[in-house]
Structure formats: C-alpha cells, structure tokens
Amino acid sequence: MKKIIPFLLVAIACIGCDSNKTKTANDEPQSKDTTIIAGVYHFQFDNFELWTLQDKQNSMPASLFPNVDKKILKETMPNGEAESSINGFLIKKDGQYILFDTGLGLDNGGVLLDKLIMLNIKPEDITNICITHCHRDHIGGLLTKGKVAFPNADVYFADKELKSFRNDEATQAVLGAYGDRIRRFTAGDTLLKDIKTIDASGHTPGHTLYEIGNLLIVGDLIHAAALQIPYPEACAIYDQDPKKAAATRKKIYQYIRDNNRTIAGMHMPYAAVVENFGSLTGTFTAQ
C-alpha cells in the first residue's frame, strides 16, 4: 500500500485531514516524504516531483466577499473567516527545477526562498518560473532588495497579463531586472515541452493556469476554499472582473470533474494539493 495525498476535502467544512488509501490510478500522486520541514510537502507523480512551498499561513475574512449572502457566509465561515495560505509550487522534471509563483518575497515577510534553501535547492538551481498573474503575493519573490532572486531562471508571463499590468510598479521592476529572461506567451501555448497554459481570466485579465499531466495548478481560482468550492459564484474583492471570474471558476471546475484532475492552489490551505476535487463540486454551466 502506498500513501496518497493526505490533503483531501472530504467535507467542505473540514479541510486538511490526513488519510492513507490504496493508489488507484497510475497518474495520481503519492505522498513520499510527508512534511519534510514545516510548510513544505512533497508529492511524487509518475513523471515529476512536486513540492508545496508555503510562503505564509493566513486566512480569508468574510469581509472580502461583500456581495455574498450573509447566510452563506455564516454557513461556510462560522468563525468569520476561511482557512487559507500563500503557496508556491516547485516541480522537478527532466532534471529541471520549475517554480510556479514566488510568493511575497523576503522583503515582504515571505519565506519561500528560505524553504528552497532548507531543501538544499539554491536560487541558481531554478531553471524556469511560471507566473499565474502579477499580484504582488505571486511575483514578490522574484526580487530581493531590488535584485534578481533567481539568476538562472527564465520567467514566463502571459502577454495579456503583462499588458494589463504595464503601469504596475512591482511588475515593471521585475521586467527591468530580468530583461531578456522574460518569456511571454499566449494562453493555450505549451511551455517547456509539456506544460499547458489555460486562460483563467477574470481574477486578472491574463490570469493563467498550468497543467502538467494530471496536475492542474489553479493560481487564484480559489481564495477561500470553504466558500468557493460549494459556491463558485462567490467572488473576493480581489477579482477584477467578478462576473467573468465566477464564469471561469465554474468552467474550470467542470473541466476538473470531466478530466479527473488533481489541483494545486496558491491559496488553498496547506498542503494545498487536492485529489478528487471534482467529486466535491457539482456540475456547472458557465454563464
């Protein structure tokens, strides 16, 4: 018997429980080392390794969802908040280390870089970084004191996202620092041979998901799992286009169900990787 992902949403109100069960499909992840150090969890997929790197533990208060019915907020957040996190994800594939988002950064209290070092992975070892979108809790770790934090990495952004953040100071600082190591793409492109990019606009204009085999990295599709899994129409104030964000969430949920994807979310509670996510959601038709 092999251990499988311990982080299962067996009930919407119960997030983060541990369980062991027999592996049933070749492309499902297996837990290998459980928690290696605090806030770091390791998973082994068939063709790559995955680490969750928790940058910061936090919660999402109900006040971030002002347009959601108060009865629903009380139902899903009885204590007035939902468990959350700020996470990045590291994949080792074909001898390369690929990072997905970089957290807040050391200058803003993030610890993702520290955790890489504790894993004996140096910043110079990171070969590629895929950014879901340009909010500062996702790109902050690209710079340390204004300098490049990952000197050998190519950094991938959706072109649409960069255009929409052309007046954002933090984004422009990253572009200036990384120079010709910036790689632009259009949603739908395949990166690094087999990383598929999926448009998830609504949260931001160029918000992008990344699919590697059976794993779907969902960025900020979900901010408060306890609320937005049963109620995908619920939008946080961070969603720039709430109507589109809700439609995107429903569409992606349906895709996850139809294709039996395991998901990894930048604001899912630690360890932030969820198998059988589709079984927790209904059948959705995006409006």
Complete domains list, the chain, with CATH? 30-280 (3.60.15.10)
The verdict on pTM exceeding 0.85 is: yes
Q: Is 260 exposed, middle or buried (0-12, 13-18, 19+ CB in 10 A)?
A: middle
Q: What is the pLDDT of residues 145-202, one digit of tens each?
A: 999 999 999 999 999 999 999 999 999 999 999 999 999 999 999 999 999 999 999 9
Look-up: residue for tokens 């937005």?
228
**Nearest by Cα to 267 from 214, 212, 229, 215:** 229
Q: Is 221 helix (H, G, I), strand (E, B) or coil?
A: coil
Q: Of 157, 165, 163, nearest to 197 (Cα)?
A: 157
Per the CB < 8 A criterion, the answer to whether 111 and 140 are in contact is: no
> Which helix (H) or strand (E) element contains residue 259?
helix 242-259
Q: How far, CA to CA in Å, does 23 sit from each of 27, 182, 215?
A: 9, 39, 16
Report the number of secondary-structure helices (H) and strands (E) in the chain: 7, 16
Of 178, 187, 180, 140, the residue nearest 159 (C-alpha)? 187
Q: What is the mean pLDDT of residues 229-250?
A: 98
Backbone angles phi, psi at 147, to 5 degrees: -105, 155
Beta bridge partners of 71: none
Provide the pLDDT for residue 278.
73
pLDDT band for 276, please (50, 70, 90 cuts).
confident
Q: ∠ CA 60-65-71 to the nearest 5 degrees? A: 105
pLDDT tier at 35, thresholds 50, 70, 90: low
Mean pLDDT of 95-124: 96
Q: What is the DSSP letter of 263?
A: E
CA 44 – CA 161 distance, rounded (Å): 31
Q: Which residue has the tokens 């108060």?
A: 70
For residue 140, what is the DSSP state? G
Residue 253 three-state SS? helix
pLDDT for 277 equals: 82
